[in-house]
C-alpha cells in the first residue's frame, strides 16, 4: 500500500517542511538502493512518493512566501475625523427611522481615510430597517469605479440607546459578509441614537484611528461621541 501525505497543514509550516525533507532524504536513500538492485517496481513506488513529497514541499514554500508577503503588507488601517463622525451621527439620527449611506475617501500610505459620505435613494426606511434602491446603489458604485475610489465603509443607525444598540444584526452581518467576499476593504459602523458607535468587520479586527476630540474610546472598536450639542447639520464637509 502506498503511503499518502496528509494535506491538512499545521500552523507551524517550518516544522512540517523539516518533517517532509527528512522523509524525502530517507526515500532517496531507499530509491538508490532499489535502483542498484534493479528492483523496478519498488523504484516506481518510491518515485511516486518522492514526487508527491516534492509537490507538497513546493506548495508549502509558496504558502510561506504568501504569508510573509501578507504579514509585511499588514492589515489596512482606517482613519476618520471626530468632526466627521459627529456630522454622520446628526444625519443618521435626524429622525426615528434607520438611515444608511456609503463612505469613501483617499487612501494614503496604506491608511483608508473615511471622510466623504455618499448618499443614495432608499427603497424603504422604517424604524425596523433601511434598504437602498438597487439602481441608485449600482450607479453610485459605478461612479466610485470611474473616479478610482473604493467603498471604504458603510454607516447606518439603529433604534435605541446605549452600546448594546450598536450590536450588528444578522442582516448587518450578512451584508458585510457579501462585501468582504466581493473583496471590499470597507468597515461597517453602527450608530445609536445617543452617540454610541461600533465599527466592525467579520474577517479581521478593525484597526481605526480617530483624529480630534469629542470621541471616547471604550473598546477597540466601540466609541462614544461627546459634546453632541456642539455640532449641527450645517456646513458638513463630508456630504456628497
Q: Is the pLDDT of residue 101 over 60?
A: yes
Is residue 7 in some structural domain? no
User: 235 lies in a domain?
Assistant: no
Summarised one tens digit per residue, pLDDT across range 156-178 is: 999 999 999 999 999 899 989 98
Q: How many domains does the chain have?
A: 2
Cβ count near 136 (within 10 Å): 14
109 near 231, Cβ under 8 Å?
A: no
Tell me which of 22, 52, 73 is where a domain ends.
73
Q: What are phi and psi of 126, to 5 degrees?
A: -150, 175
Which pLDDT score is estimated for 130?
A: 65
Q: How do strand 215-217 and strand 208-211 relate by DSSP bridges?
A: unpaired
Domain shared by 42 and 104, yes or no: no
Final residue in a domain of this structure, among 73, 97, 116: 73
Which whole number is the average pLDDT over 56-64? Answer: 71
CA dihedral sign of residues 26, 29, 31, 33: negative
Report the pLDDT averaged over residues 168-197.
91
Across all residues in the chain, what is the average pLDDT?
A: 82
- For residue 190, pLDDT over 90 is answered with yes
Q: Is residue 1 part of a domain?
A: no
pLDDT at 10 over 70: no
Strands 208-211 and 116-118: unpaired
Residue 81 and residue 66 in one domain: no
**Taken in order 28, 31, 32, 33, is the CA torsion positive or negative?**
positive
In the structure grid, which three cell numbers stand for residue 227, read together? Answer: 459634546
Q: Which three cell numbers stand for residue 161?
A: 440607546
* Same domain as 200, residue 217: yes
Residue 140: pLDDT band with limits 50, 70, 90: confident
The reply to whether 160 and 53 lie within a common domain is no
The yes-or-no verdict on residue 74 having pLDDT over 70 is no
Residue 26 belongs to a domain: yes
Is residue 119, in this structure, part of any structural domain at all? yes
Does residue 103 sit in the same domain as residue 119? Answer: yes
Do residue 30 and residue 117 come from a single domain?
A: no
- Per-residue confidence at 54, pLDDT binned at 50, 70, 90? confident
Q: Please check whether residue 4 lies inside any domain of the structure.
A: no
Out of 34, 49, 73, pick the residue that ends a domain.
73
User: Which residues constitute the domain of residue 163?
Assistant: 77-230
30 within a domain of the structure (yes/no): yes
Do 89 and 200 belong together in one domain?
yes
Q: Are 178 and 222 contained in the same domain?
A: yes
Report the phi/psi class of residue 130: left, alpha or beta, with left for phi > 0 and alpha for psi in -120 to 50. beta
pLDDT in the model for residue 11: 44
Are 42 and 150 members of one domain? no
In the predicted structure, residue 65 carries a pLDDT above the cut 90: no
19: helix, strand or coil: helix
pTM: 0.65
Are residues 176 and 135 part of one domain?
yes
Amino acid at each position: 500500500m502506498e503511503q499518502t501525505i496528509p494535506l491538512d497543514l499545521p500552523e507551524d509550516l517550518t516544522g512540517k517542511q523539516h518533517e517532509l525533507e527528512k522523509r524525502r532524504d530517507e526515500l532517496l536513500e531507499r530509491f538508490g538502493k532499489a535502483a542498484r538492485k534493479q528492483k523496478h517496481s519498488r523504484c516506481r513506488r518510491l518515485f511516486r512518493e518522492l514526487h508527491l513529497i516534492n509537490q507538497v514541499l513546493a506548495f508549502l514554500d509558496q504558502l510561506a512566501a504568501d504569508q510573509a508577503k501578507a504579514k509585511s503588507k499588514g492589515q489596512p488601517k482606517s482613519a476618520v475625523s471626530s468632526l466627521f463622525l459627529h456630522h454622520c451621527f446628526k444625519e443618521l439620527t435626524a429622525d426615528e427611522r434607520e438611515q444608511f449611506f456609503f463612505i469613501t475617501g483617499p487612501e494614503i500610505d496604506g491608511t483608508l481615510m473615511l471622510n466623504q459620505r455618499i448618499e443614495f435613494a432608499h427603497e424603504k426606511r422604517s424604524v425596523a430597517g433601511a434598504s437602498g434602491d438597487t439602481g441608485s446603489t449600482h450607479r453610485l458604485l459605478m461612479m466610485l469605479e470611474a473616479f478610482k475610489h473604493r467603498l471604504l465603509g458603510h454607516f447606518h443607525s439603529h433604534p435605541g440607546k446605549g452600546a448594546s444598540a450598536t450590536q450588528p444584526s444578522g442582516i448587518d452581518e450578512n451584508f458585510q459578509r457579501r462585501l468582504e467576499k466581493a473583496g471590499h476593504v470597507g468597515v461597517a459602523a453602527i450608530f445609536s441614537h445617543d452617540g454610541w458607535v461600533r465599527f466592525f468587520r467579520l474577517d479581521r479586527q478593525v484597526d481605526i484611528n480617530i483624529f480630534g476630540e469629542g470621541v471616547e474610546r471604550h473598546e477597540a472598536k466601540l466609541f462614544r461621541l461627546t459634546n453632541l450639542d456642539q455640532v449641527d447639520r450645517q456646513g458638513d464637509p463630508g456630504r456628497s
